[in-house]
């Protein structure tokens, strides 16, 4: 078996500082040396400094609004929506996030890697029922945060009521700039998020759950 030698120099301990250092030679199998870079990489990834870990931190800092290339109106409108939310609610640090296709939308939302998405109404219905472009992937469970004509902003079922209230309130404040439906229209829609309903009723913002 091939091996390599690593020399380790250890200074003498004790009162005699002039004593020469001791040199130890350790023989390490060559196989281990070849695997060492891979082991270092695994350690780096597990330590949380991987691109995935950094992306997770990014998602926690920003309100990402997911759209998809296959639902053409969603991405251009998401950029307008992001601009409006950031104007009214700068601490949200909203950002648009575009998925390549409906399969990616389903994967990111079903695994809760994304908490908010923008879909055309017909595709929102299809996603909820697991039909049409979502027939191969299954249904998605979500709540309606707001409606903009033929587009709907949708959030996770466990999206905090306070956050839903803040987003809804921001949209209502900028209603004329973002082509949002009137609150009296939205309040009649099914599957509203509880936080959205509270905001539409002009009731005070709910508190965050104690667990958060």
Q: pLDDT by residue for the chain (212 residues), tens digit each?
A: 444 444 444 444 444 444 444 444 445 455 444 444 434 333 333 334 333 234 344 455 789 999 999 999 999 999 999 999 999 999 889 999 999 999 999 999 999 999 999 999 999 999 999 999 999 999 999 999 999 999 999 999 999 999 999 999 999 999 888 999 999 999 999 999 999 999 999 999 998 766 55
Surface-to-core class of residue 154, CB atoms within 10 Å of its CB (0-12 exposed, 13-18 middle, 19+ buried): buried
User: What is the DSSP track for 36-94?
Assistant: HHHHHHHHHIIIIISHHHHHHHHHHHS-EEEEETTSTTHHHHHHHHHHHHHHH-GGG--
Tokens 């609004």 found at: 65
Alpha carbon 19 to chain centroid, angstroms: 59
Rounded to whole angstroms, the Cα distance separating 192 from 143 reads 5
Domain ranges of the chain: 3-48, 53-200
Q: Which DSSP category does 17 fall into?
A: T
pLDDT at 62: 86
Fold assignment, 53-200 = D-Maltodextrin-Binding Protein; domain 2 (3.40.190)
Helices 102-110/121-129 angle, 10° precision:
60
Q: Which DSSP category does 140 fall into?
A: -
Rounded to whole angstroms, the Cα distance separating 58 from 47 reads 17
What is the model's pTM? 0.72
């Amino acid at each position: 078996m091939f091996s390599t030698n690593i020399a380790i120099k250890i200074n003498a301990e004790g009162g005699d500082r002039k004593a020469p250092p001791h040199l130890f030679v350790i023989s390490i199998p060559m196989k281990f040396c070849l695997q060492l870079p891979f082991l270092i990489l695994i350690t780096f990834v597990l330590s949380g400094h991987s691109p995935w870990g950094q992306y997770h931190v990014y998602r926690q800092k920003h309100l990402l609004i997911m759209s998809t290339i296959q639902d053409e109106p969603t991405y251009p409108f998401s950029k307008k929506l992001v601009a409006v939310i950031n104007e009214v609610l700068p601490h949200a640090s909203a950002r648009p996030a575009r998925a390549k296709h409906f399969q990616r939308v389903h994967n990111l939302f079903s695994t809760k890697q994304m908490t908010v998405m923008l879909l055309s109404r017909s595709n929102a219905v299809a996603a909820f029922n697991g039909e049409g472009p979502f027939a191969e992937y299954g249904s998605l469970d979500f709540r309606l945060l707001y409606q903009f004509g033929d587009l709907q902003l949708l959030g996770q079922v466990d999206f905090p009521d306070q956050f839903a209230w803040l987003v809804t309130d921001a949209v209502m404040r900028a209603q004329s700039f973002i082509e949002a439906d009137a609150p009296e229209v939205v309040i009649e829609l099914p599957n509203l998020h509880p936080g959205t309903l509270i905001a539409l009723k002009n009731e005070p913002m709910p508190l965050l759950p104690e667990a958060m």
